[in-house]
Amino acid sequence: MSLAGEDYSLKYLDFVDLTYKPKESDLICTFLVEPQGISLKEAAGGVAAESSVGTWTELTTEKPYVKRLAAHVYSIEGSEVKIAYPAELFEAANMPNILSSVAGNVFGLKALKNLRLLDLEFPKQLLASFKGPAFGIAGIRKLLKIPKRPLVGTIIKPKLGLETKDHAKVAYEAWLGGCDIVKDDENLSSQKFNPFETRLTQTLESREKAQAETGERKVYMINITAETDTMLKRAQTVVDQGGEYVMVDILTCGWSSLQTLRNQNLKLVIHAHRAGHAAFTKNPTHGIAMKPVATVARVIGVDQLHVGTVVGKMSETKAEVIENIDACKTQMGDLRPVLPVASGGLHPRLIPSLMETFGNNFVIQAGGGIHGHPDGTVAGAKAMRQAVDATLERKTLEEYAKNHKELATALKQWKT
């Protein structure tokens, strides 16, 4: 029975066809559907209808040719529903248009108690309209001249408050100790205590000094997140000063801003921070899972992306993190694979567990787990590299720590 006595069930049921075989050109969405006041089948049809060409009542304006654009519910297993959308519903290279359809008003339907977008699969013709990653895993490894091991990175801590000279000093010490990557945190922009251009100049000078002293390639991911025009100007400034990386808070700046940045074809690796994602990814029954977020980011063209940790301070389960990693790496048309980033409450003792989940193709991004080392940032970076080396050599951390004092101190500092 329909809500409020409205007889729209048959209209919604028109969008359910469990015999339908998706076409290669269809966009496929997987939803978790929890109905309210109607059957699961009607609710599933409602999602397909409201996200394609249908609505809650009969229309005098409907034409026969419109029906060919209808979405089809073609699978219902438990509360998991798969819907196929004709590619003609969407404008090429327009991610806001795509997401406004499949992840838009449907979340507000009162016939649904909960709705969660679990997965999003793009057909080749839509994929081809986006640029995708410029570098991807292979390009990043070539840039850094690190063929196999995990990349070791840090975030400047404290995340806000350091003046520019101290920010650049911390970066230098992290690189000197063995970090490959230094990045800003998500809320450092161009505040008066650490303005963007001054920070860029001084931190790149620290990078040059660290590269000369260590003989290793080092990179700085400065946060360029801002209003789109400002973001583009900042990106160009990074290029002009010899930087190779930028960091973008992809959700708070928006998909259009991200796509505009990628469309400039600047020779910059785009590091994607997912600040704000848990507002809609954390609830297991409603919202949007991280996997489709990762898919969209990859399609638009980020090169590396935060995906969770399993260990550390973030809440995602191992299964969720593995799904996120899969979205970064799985075959997707001609798109390059994206480098997953693990970040949030990491320290050297957690490295074996991290590498068990991620393998070698990922970035270990540790803030407090490096700068919180009792002997300072240089020692903290050394301890992190030592933990990676121990794991690669299939030695226990305790065994390796016998001849590596920085790791030994870190293991005493962080027990679990």
CA distances from 24 to 27, 80, 86, 121, 332 (A): 8, 21, 10, 11, 13
Cα angle: 157, vertex 159, 160; to 5 degrees: 125
313: annotated active-site residue = no
Catalytic-labelled residue, pool 183, 273, 277, 291? 273
248 contacts 274 by C-beta, under 8 angstroms: no
Q: Which of 167, 235, 152 is nearest to 198 (CA)?
A: 167
The residues facing 306 across adjacent strands are 341
CA 83/CA 44 separation, integer angstroms: 8
CA distances from 14 to 23, 64, 107, 110 (A): 19, 14, 20, 19
Query: Could you check whether the bond before residue 158 is cis, i.e. omega within 30 degrees of 0?
Result: yes
Strand pairing class (27-35; 80-85): antiparallel
Give rounded-to-5 percent helix, strand, coil for the chain: 45, 15, 40
Element (H, E) at 223: strand 219-223
SS3 310: coil
402: annotated active-site residue = no
Tokens of 118: 């679990």
Catalytic-labelled residue, pool 11, 41, 82, 157? 157
User: In the β-sheet with 80-85, what is the strand arrangement from edge to edge?
Assistant: 72-77, 80-85, 27-35, 112-121, 287-288
DSSP letters of 372-412?
TSTT-HHHHHHHHHHHHHHHHTT--HHHHHTT-HHHHHHHH
101 contacts 94 by C-beta, under 8 angstroms: no
CA 40/CA 35 separation, integer angstroms: 6
The catalytic residues are 157, 273
